[in-house]
Amino acid sequence: MKDCVLISAFACDPSMGSEPYVGWNWLKQILTVSDGNVVLLTRRMHERPVREALEPTSRARLDIVAFDLPGCAGMAHHHSLMKPYYVFWQVAALFVVLVYQLRHRSLAVIQQCTYNVVDMPGLLWLVPGTRFIWGPVGGGQIPPAWAKPLYGRGWIKQRWRTLMKRTLRFNPYICLASYCSSSILVANQDTLEMLPRFAHRKCLKTLETAVSGVTASPAAQEPKESFTLLWVGRLEPRKALKLLLDAIAQIKADQPQAYERLRIKVLGTGPDAQKTQVEVAALGLAGKVELLGALPFAEVQPLYEGADLFVFTSVQDTSGNVLLESLASGLPAIALNHQGPREILQNGGGRLIDAHSYNEAVREFARAILELMDAPQLLRAYAQAGLENIQQHCLWEQKGELFRTLLDARGKSAKSHLASDQA
C-alpha cells in the first residue's frame, strides 16, 4: 500500500481543539496506516506545530504544502469572515494541488478532511488520476423547531440555513462532488440524508472525531451529600446551556431538597458568556452554578473524573467531542435523542432524552437528573457501558483501520469491501 495520500486539512493543529484537533488526528492515523508518503495541505499557521509534534520517522514521510490567500489575513482571523475565506482557499487549493501533481506525479488518493461541512466539499475531486475520499463530513444537523427561543434574532439565519441544507441533494455542486467521490464518510444520519440518493451506496457512517483511549474505570458509586453536574462547551445558542439552567431552576422550585445537593460546573466561553452570567443571576442560581471559563485540557480531565453526571444539551451538533471525553473518563451522560449524541449514546454510556417542545426538554432534563441522583447502581452501569462503547467504536486507531480499508478498496465500493472483510 504505497499510494501517496494527500489530506486536505484546512484546520490541523495538535495544540487546538475542535476542527484542528480532528484534522491532526486524522493525519496521524493516515501516517500510521499508509506505507507511502503523505502530503498535508493546510494553512501556514499549522505547519510548525504539526512538524514539532510528529515523531522523526513520521516527519520524514510527510510533505507539508502550506499556503494562505495573499492579502486576506484579516479574513482568516475574523470569525464571521472565515467561511468566505475558506471557500476562496479551497479554490486556490485546487490549483496548488494540480501544480504539485504536475511536478511530482505521485498522488493516488486525496482526502478532504477539514472543514468537515456537507455544503463545502472543496474542488479536489477534480484532480485527475486520483481517488477522492470525502470526509468525515458532518454539518447536516438542523436544530428542532422548538429550539427557537435559544437563538433569538439568530433564528432567521437558522431557518435560511435549514432551507439551504434541505435542498443540498439537488445542488449540482454537491451532486458532482458526490459522483466523483470514491467514498464518502458521514458523521451522522442527518448528514447522510442531505446527500443525493445515488451517493448513499458510497457512504460509510463514522464519527469525525474520537478519543485516544479510556482514562478511567467506573468507581463504585454511592449516594453522596452532593451531586455534581458537569457541562462543557462553547457558550453559544446551539450548545443550549440555557436548557440545563432552566432545568435546575425547575428542580429548585419543585424539589428544594434535591436542589440543595446539586453542584453545577460550567466550563467554556464564547459569545454568550456575559448573557449566561445574567441568566444565572436572573434564575437565582448564582450560588449554585460555577462558571469556570476556558481551561487547558490538563485541568479539564480532573473535572470529568470528579463529576457525577455529564449534561450535553446541544441542539445542533455533528458529534460532540466533549461527550466522548466524558464517557472515556467513566462519566455517564444525558443528552437529547438526536444528531451526533444519538450516534454516540445509542451504543451505551447514558440516557437519551426525547422532547417535542422547549418546556418538555426542560422537564425531561430535570427528571433525568433527579432520577439519577439516587441511582448509584444505574450510574455505574451507564459508566461501564460508556467505557465499552468508547473501546469498541470511538478510538482513533479504529479510524486508521477504516482508512486502511478504504485504501485497499481501490476500484471496489467501500461498502462492499468492508462487507467482504467482515465475512
Structure confidence at residue 2 (pLDDT) = 63
Give yes or no for residue 413 having a pLDDT over 70: no
Contact between residue 110 and residue 132 where contact means Cβ atoms under 8 Å apart? yes
Residue 18 in 3-state DSSP?
helix
Band (pLDDT 50/70/90 cuts) for residue 70 is: confident
Grid coordinates belonging to 97: 494541488
How much is the pTM?
0.89
Give yes or no for residue 219 having a pLDDT over 90: no
Given the C-alpha cell 469498541, which residue does it identify? 392
Least confident of 52-61, 68-77, 250-259, 312-321: 68-77
Q: Are residues 231 and 273 in the same domain?
A: yes
Band (pLDDT 50/70/90 cuts) for residue 84 is: confident
Whether 91 is in a domain gets the answer yes
Give yes or no for residue 423 having a pLDDT over 60: no
Q: Are residues 16 and 106 in the same domain?
A: yes
- Burial code (b: 16+ CB inside 10 Å, e: under 16) for 186-200 equals bbbebbbbbbbeebe
Q: Are residues 239 and 355 in the same domain?
A: yes
Whether 221 is in a domain gets the answer no
pLDDT (mean) for 326-340: 95
Whether 219 is in a domain gets the answer no
Q: Are residues 202 and 302 in the same domain?
A: no
Structure confidence at residue 421 (pLDDT) = 39
CA-nearest of 311, 232, 319, 218 to 270 is 232
Give yes or no for residue 378 having a pLDDT over 70: yes
Structure confidence at residue 416 (pLDDT) = 47
Q: Is 128 exposed, middle or buried (0-12, 13-18, 19+ CB in 10 A)?
A: exposed
Structure confidence at residue 253 (pLDDT) = 95
Whether 313 is in a domain gets the answer yes
Least confident of 35-39, 61-65, 322-326, 331-335: 35-39
Q: Are residues 344 and 286 in the same domain?
A: yes
DSSP 201-216: GGEEE--S--BSS---
Band (pLDDT 50/70/90 cuts) for residue 160 is: confident
Given the C-alpha cell 487546538, which residue does it identify? 16
Q: Which domain holds residue 404?
A: 4-209+395-422
At residue 5, φ and ψ (nearest 5 deg) are: -110, 130
Band (pLDDT 50/70/90 cuts) for residue 60 is: confident
Number of C-beta neighbours around residue 176 at 10 A? 15
Band (pLDDT 50/70/90 cuts) for residue 245 is: very high
Give yes or no for residue 243 having a pLDDT over 60: yes
Band (pLDDT 50/70/90 cuts) for residue 213 is: confident
> How many Å is the maximal CA-CA distance in the chain?
72
Q: Are residues 294 and 356 in the same domain?
A: yes
Band (pLDDT 50/70/90 cuts) for residue 278 is: very high
Structure confidence at residue 419 (pLDDT) = 41
Give yes or no for residue 412 having a pLDDT over 60: no
Residue 186 in 3-state DSSP?
strand
Whether 215 is in a domain gets the answer no
Structure confidence at residue 417 (pLDDT) = 42
Q: Are residues 353 and 248 in the same domain?
A: yes
Q: Is 236 exposed, middle or buried (0-12, 13-18, 19+ CB in 10 A)?
A: buried
Q: Are residues 154 and 204 in the same domain?
A: yes
Q: Are residues 328 and 407 in the same domain?
A: no
CA distance 134 to 116: 9
CATH code assigned at 309: 3.40.50.2000
Whether 214 is in a domain gets the answer no
Band (pLDDT 50/70/90 cuts) for residue 223 is: low
DSSP 138-180: B------GGGHHHHGGGHHHHHHHHHHHHTGGG-HHHHHHHHH
Instruction: Please name the residue ranges forming H helices in 283-423.
Output: 297-306, 321-328, 339-345, 358-373, 376-393, 396-409, 414-422
Q: Are residues 250 and 202 in the same domain?
A: no
Structure confidence at residue 408 (pLDDT) = 81
Band (pLDDT 50/70/90 cuts) for residue 15 is: confident
Look at the chain and report how many structural domains it folds into: 2
pLDDT above 70 covers a percentage of the chain that reads 92
Q: Are residues 370 and 414 in the same domain?
A: no
pLDDT above 90 covers a percentage of the chain that reads 70
Q: Are residues 203 and 258 in the same domain?
A: no
Structure confidence at residue 77 (pLDDT) = 61
